Amino acid sequence: MKQNTEYAKQKLKPHWSKGNTVFVDSVYNTARLPLAQYPEIAFAGRSNVGKSSLVNKLINRRKLVKVSSKPGKTQALNFFLASDAVYLVDLPGYGYAKVPKKLKNDWQGLISSYLTSREPLHCVVVIIDIRHSAKPQDRELVSWLQQEELPFVVVYTKIDKLKRGQQAKQADLLDAGLGLKPAQRLLFSAKTGEGKEKLLGMLDQFLP
Ligand SMILES: Nc1nc2c(ncn2[C@@H]2O[C@H](COP(=O)(O)OP(=O)(O)OP(=O)(O)O)[C@@H](O)[C@H]2O)c(=O)[nH]1
Ligand SMILES: [Mg+2]
């Protein structure tokens, strides 16, 4: 009987992206990660590609995650709890040249130690600006995720900046540069919301 009630409750729960999302913590050191209580989805990509904007779009909040006017704004692992169910982890952008070397090494250390050792991490969303070419760090991240067999989705974002034909052409180039099949990536715009439902569907496949 109890089981049935629990089941009914679960069915009534809104999807995690539609519930309330709250900021939990900014983490600068892996020793200070929050308790591993929820499955986690991490958002990675070069500086300024639109990681924070993508997270805001997924959870229907315009400004919960700070969007940069200057690249390199997000320097910590920012944890957001969606619907009391999933941690969304906005990672610092990689590859921002103007950051002092020492700080840069600390950041990369923070990102890589999180990615390699975080037990509840279920999926990494790798975000790439559709107008760019595949950069060495994007390639490294994608091949590392493949090697580790960590589930990931690649998102080519800011598609609103290109016409349809150009989008397809750029997507082909990026696929070739990263060694991806079209099923492993999708096109997205944080401005128009295009690709959002598809991305949510893909992420749900990776969650328990
Ligand atoms: N047109 C358009 N602009 C976007 C899109 N996504 C992000 N932007 C803009 O790109 C800039 C950077 O966006 P952020 O979301 O802060 O990027 P980020 O990857 O989180 O940046 P860092 O935290 O600095 O690494 C902002 O000016 C956004 O408004 C998009 O899909 N379309
Ligand atoms: Mg950001």
User: Look-up: residue for tokens 């069915």?
Assistant: 11
68 lines ligand 1 (CB under 6 A): yes
Q: Which atom of ligand 1 lies closest to the CA of 188?
A: 31
Residue with CA closest to ligand 1 atom 8: 50
Rounded to an integer, the average pLDDT of 57-63 is 84
pLDDT for residue 44 = 93
Question: If you measure from the C-alpha of residue 22 to the centroid of ligand 2, how many angstroms do you get, rounded to a whole number?
Answer: 16
The answer to whether the CB of 72 is under 6 A from ligand 1 is yes
Ion ligand 2 residue ranges (Cβ < 5 Å):
51-52, 74
Task: Tell me the pLDDT band of 8, cut-offs 50, 70 and 90.
Answer: low
The reported pTM is: 0.90
Q: Mean pLDDT, the chain, as a whole number?
A: 87
- Please tell me the predicted confidence (pLDDT) of residue 200: 97
Domains of the chain: 15-206 (3.40.50.300)
- Least confident range from 27-31, 88-92, 97-101, 177-181: namely 97-101
Summarised one tens digit per residue, pLDDT across range 155-192 is: 999 999 999 999 999 999 999 999 999 999 999 999 99
The crossing angle, in degrees rounded to 10, of helices 51-58 and 196-206 is 90
Give whichever of 109-123, 137-151, 168-182 has the largest mean pLDDT.
168-182
Residue in the structure block whose two tokens are 């080519």: 156
